[in-house]
Chains A and B, each alone.
Chain A
């Protein structure tokens, strides 16, 4: 290392020390608006050519984006949300009763109208389905 070079480095170090943000850092920590000032200072790279600030901000934005997308996707595909949307999509509710004589029975639905609980026939009765057998004879 030559002397010229050594002088040059020393001068550079001196310059750097002058420009360093750590000068008076601790004494300024308790100043009003310190957080805001720090954020502003951090958001403005001292040397625009420094790519690290861009990367830092890029990473933060990317991370925040991933978190937001994760929550949105989890909400979109949650079972409770899916079930709620299925319930909204139907046109009527059918409380099942299996009757051996379906035409003689009705089922009811409940609707809250003006704070009143109303029963309304829906005809939502299902018939028990016999599959085999007649009186007196059987196939096995």
Chain B
């Protein structure tokens, strides 16, 4: 028998519809007003230290453009019954005014914290609708395998709650030459205007993560996993999340056949690593109780270690193996 694959052969439609009913009332349309300051590009074509949401202009156009006041719109969702709302940092970063809408009614909110590296922002609703639902961040699933189907709920443009189904394509720790702060899920979802900050669920309605960036060439979207979302939210401060600094540089060594290993390249003489007896040339085998063969593995372990906490490392120096604990300090 040939022909198009019917939707009900892939999914239980009733389950999907049940998911939409369960998550009804979690979404809010986040709006903010910010000045649209132009980014001045360097000769390399890379933007300098600028805020999210800014426009890129070439150096010759600098000064010609006046800052414009823009209304930014994105998707957000309630994460607690006392009115905490999660969205993308780019929707509210450096905003003068922030509010949100539920069923067309506007409510005031204020920014509680913005974490630019993960593109997350936490808002506190100052006024709330009588009825709303929340997404339980602690109830998130572990990283879904490639091939798993996920459902995103979003508010594209001015449309109401819209579901989209996509498949997990992989989990990445970097994009080209640039690194993500932790492992992101790459999902076959084409994010459109206004869908920034949308929650993603599995087919059973469990929270999987938040969309953080789109990869238009592949029509894919990167999703920050639920564990990382919960970690960022629970450690959010008005200045954003505090990241730990350990004081060493690591290089991926590909000289070993069929595998990679991490070699400590330099150690900051004033950093915590030197106090923990880490030396140049040490090979890092495990970090945070998990095997660390790539920079992504080490980044993942470091991500979940906040200033003041210790990162347990298993290192190899010559023929000797040893366990060390490095205390993270606040990254400047």
- Give A residues with C-beta under 8 Å from B: 79-80, 82-84, 86-87, 89-105, 107-108, 110, 123-124, 126-140
Bound form: Cα–Cα A129–B47 in Å = 10
Q: Are B177 and A139 in contact (CB under 8 A)?
A: no
Q: Is B33 an interface residue (CB 8 A)?
A: yes
Q: Choose one: A86, A102, A127, A131; the contact of B33 (CB below 8 Å).
A: A86
Q: Are A83 and B179 in contact (CB under 8 A)?
A: no
- Give B residues with C-beta under 8 Å from A: 31, 33, 36, 47, 52-56, 68-74, 88, 90-91, 97, 99, 105-108, 116-117, 119, 126-127, 156-158, 174-181, 191-197, 212-217, 222, 245-252, 265, 295, 298-299, 302
Residue of A nearest to B51 (CB): A129
Q: Are A136 and B251 in contact (CB under 8 A)?
A: yes
Residues of B close to A99: CB separation below 8 A? 213-216
Q: Choose one: A90, A104, A110, A138; the contact of B250 (CB below 8 Å).
A: A138
Q: Are B179 and A105 in contact (CB under 8 A)?
A: no
Counting chain B CB atoms within 10 Å of each CB, the highest count among A87, A90, A96, A100 belongs to: A96
Residue of A nearest to B93 (CB): A126
| Given contact pairs A129-B117, A137-B252, A140-B299, a sample of 6 additional A-B residue pairs in the complex whose CB atoms are under 8 Å apart | A89-B33, A94-B53, A95-B74, A126-B52, A127-B47, A136-B252
Bound form: Cα–Cα A62–B316 in Å = 85
Q: Are B56 and A126 in contact (CB under 8 A)?
A: no
Residues of A close to B107: CB separation below 8 A? 79
| Nearest 8 A/B pairs, CB to CB | A133-B179, A95-B193, A95-B194, A107-B193, A128-B213, A130-B178, A90-B71, A96-B196
Question: Shortest beta-carbon distance, B28 to chain A, in Å?
Answer: 14
Bound form: Cα–Cα A48–B99 in Å = 58
Residue of B nearest to A137 (CB): B251
A-B contacts, 28 of them at CB < 8 A, read: A79-B127, A89-B33, A90-B33, A92-B71, A94-B53, A94-B70, A95-B157, A96-B53, A96-B72, A96-B73, A96-B88, A97-B193, A97-B195, A98-B191, A99-B213, A101-B215, A101-B217, A104-B217, A105-B214, A127-B56, A128-B90, A134-B177, A134-B178, A136-B251, A137-B252, A138-B179, A138-B249, A139-B249
Q: Are A132 and B181 in contact (CB under 8 A)?
A: yes
Residues of B close to A140: CB separation below 8 A? 245-250, 298-299, 302
Q: Are B97 and A86 in contact (CB under 8 A)?
A: yes
Residue of A nearest to B108 (CB): A79
Residues of B close to A137: CB separation below 8 A? 249-252, 265, 295
Q: A96-B196, A99-B214, A139-B249 are in contact. Are A132 and B108 (CB under 8 A)?
A: no
Q: Are A97 and B191 in contact (CB under 8 A)?
A: yes
